Amino acid sequence: MDVLGRRHPAGGSWASFTIGATLLLSGAVGAQSLAAPVLKAGFLYNFAKFAQWPAEVLAQGAPLSLCIVGDGALAEALAEAVKGQGIDGHRLTVTVIAGDGPIRECHLLYVSGLDRKQAVQLLDTMKNSTAFTVSDGDHFAEMGGVAQLILESSRLRIVVNLDAAHRARLTLSSRLLSLARIVKDGADVLR
């Protein structure tokens, strides 16, 4: 299985990808720092693979836009990983966007390096959008983001906010949800 979770002739699955990510992250610190963007890129690809957007948002054959804010290394790793790839007839595009850029045009939006106030502002900007919002920031999912990547016991873990996914009109695969810790909106979430 490769980093995107694609099956090799011998088989494989999302769970195998997760196990592989765990093994790589539990390695030496040098290996971890080199591998983190590649691992996160694999997770983002799988988020896109195991999510469905409303047909009026992602028409048949339209490109699926993966956007990155604040993490150039991840953007490079994701662009390399998805080069020539597609999901359900959708060509994948990777765009690096400034925090004040056209983020509402993204189908999947990954943001990094935001403090709590910036994250709340971003999520307020994304209110009523159909973007799959992801971050590695503290409590991002509880603040209203769809998913969060966290490092826990040397493992990259997934946290999903089903309320946020519902607001974004996203349908998430049970395969994705079975690997995630599910959280609810925190008391300070803007609805």
Q: Which two tokens stand for residue 181?
A: 């810790």
**Phi and psi at residue 9, to the nearest 5°:** -50, -30
Q: Give the Cα-Cα-Cα angle 22, 24, 29 (nearest 5 degrees).
A: 115
| Nearest-angstrom CA–CA distance, 139 and 164 | 13
Q: Which two tokens stand for residue 108?
A: 């999947």
The CATH code of the domain that includes 168 is: 3.40.50.2300
Q: What is the DSSP letter of 7?
A: P
- Residue 20 located in a structural domain: yes
Q: What is the predicted pLDDT for the residue at 30?
A: 39
**Phi and psi at residue 183, to the nearest 5°:** -125, 165
Domain region containing 155: 14-183
| Nearest-angstrom CA–CA distance, 155 and 116 | 23
Q: What is the DSSP string of 77-143?
A: HHHHHHTT-EETTEEEEEEE--TTS-GGG-SEEEE-S--HHHHHHHHHHTTT---EEEE-STTTTTT
Contact 134, 149 (CB under 8 A): yes
- Residue 70 located in a structural domain: yes
pTM of the entire predicted model: 0.81
Q: What is the predicted pLDDT for the residue at 156?
A: 87
- Residue 58 located in a structural domain: yes
Beta strand 64-69 with 90-96 is parallel
- Residue 84 located in a structural domain: yes
- Residue 43 located in a structural domain: yes
Q: What is the predicted pLDDT for the residue at 5?
A: 45
| Nearest-angstrom CA–CA distance, 110 and 68 | 5
Total of domains in the chain: 1
Q: Which two tokens stand for residue 55?
A: 């047909």
- Give the contacts of 35 (CB within 8 A, at least 6 positions apart): 24, 25, 27
- Residue 172 located in a structural domain: yes
Q: What is the pLDDT along the chain (191 residues), one digit of tens a residue?
A: 444 444 433 344 444 444 444 333 333 333 344 478 999 999 999 999 999 999 999 999 999 999 999 899 999 999 999 999 999 999 999 999 886 777 878 999 999 988 889 888 989 988 889 999 999 999 999 999 999 999 888 888 999 999 999 999 999 999 999 999 999 887 655 54
- Residue 48 located in a structural domain: yes
- Residue 189 located in a structural domain: no
Q: What is the predicted pLDDT for the residue at 190?
A: 54
